[in-house]
Amino acid sequence: MQRMLVVVFEDESKAHEGAKALRQLDLDDRLTVYRHAIVVKNPDCTVTVREIDDRGPFGLLVGTALGALLGALGGLAGIGIGGTVGLVAGGAVDLRNGWVAEDFVDDVAKALLPNRSAVVAEIEEVTTGPVDTQMEAIGGTVFRRALSEVRHTIHDEHIAAMQADLAQMKTEHAQARAERKVKLQEKINQLDSKLQAELQKAKERLEAAQREARAKVELLQAKAAAAKAKAAEKHIEL
């Protein structure tokens, strides 16, 4: 099951230790880590991203669960590490559209107090035992939540409302007098421009989701092939 995992630690060194343990679990085929980051909550309550490990096929954080959660936890202005502010900004909208529930974000935020650190990861795991055992041994507090599919309900409803308004204006335009037609046409043009921009965003969001899904499948296939090859080598040795 695909999950968002957050492990909160008392200090940054423990968080790095937790990230190392998570990567080892991946190498041992106990789970799959799609991407992860280490964050630090500063005394002024801003959040700094110390490390981002994003496997090549996935590209930018825009439109990802990790990007959305980083933005939600830190507030976009509070996130550091190069261009991460811009990368995360696109993801914050997806959080409201169904990536991760707000109550999960609230629970993590309450635990991630100033001067604490956390490992934030997007993972695939069959059982929770391996992660819990490793992280609790290091002193981490584990939060996890199954990732829902990207939902476009809110966005789709917004587009539908704009289309309805546009249709109504066009109907009124056809029946209006000349003076009224000019004003209505201006509003029609403005609304149509906004609608086209929203449709383009919807297309880009769908394409990003499709790329994300393909990349995850390819990663899992690569891991399965590597495990099969490793098993074959052991059989030959025997």
Which helix (H) or strand (E) is 163 found in, with range? helix 153-175
> Under a CB-based contact definition with an 8 Å cutoff, are residues 68 and 96 in contact?
no
Please, are residues 38 and 119 in contact by the beta-carbon 8 Å criterion? Answer: yes
Q: Is the dihedral of CA 99, 60, 112, 44 positive or negative?
A: negative
CA–CA gap between residue 114 and residue 234 (Å, rounded): 49
Give the pLDDT confidence score for residue 23 in this predicted structure: 93
Q: What are phi and psi of 166, to 5 degrees?
A: -65, -40
Domain map of the chain by residue range? 2-146, 153-237
What is the distance between the alpha carbons of residues 224 and 226, in angstroms, rounded to a whole number? 5
pLDDT at 80: 43
Per-residue pLDDT tens, the chain, 238 aa: give them.
Answer: 888 899 999 999 999 999 999 999 999 999 999 889 999 998 988 888 888 875 544 445 555 677 778 877 764 434 444 333 333 333 344 444 445 667 788 889 899 999 999 999 999 998 899 999 999 999 999 998 887 543 444 567 668 888 888 898 899 899 988 888 888 899 899 989 988 988 887 787 777 777 777 888 888 888 888 888 888 887 776 5
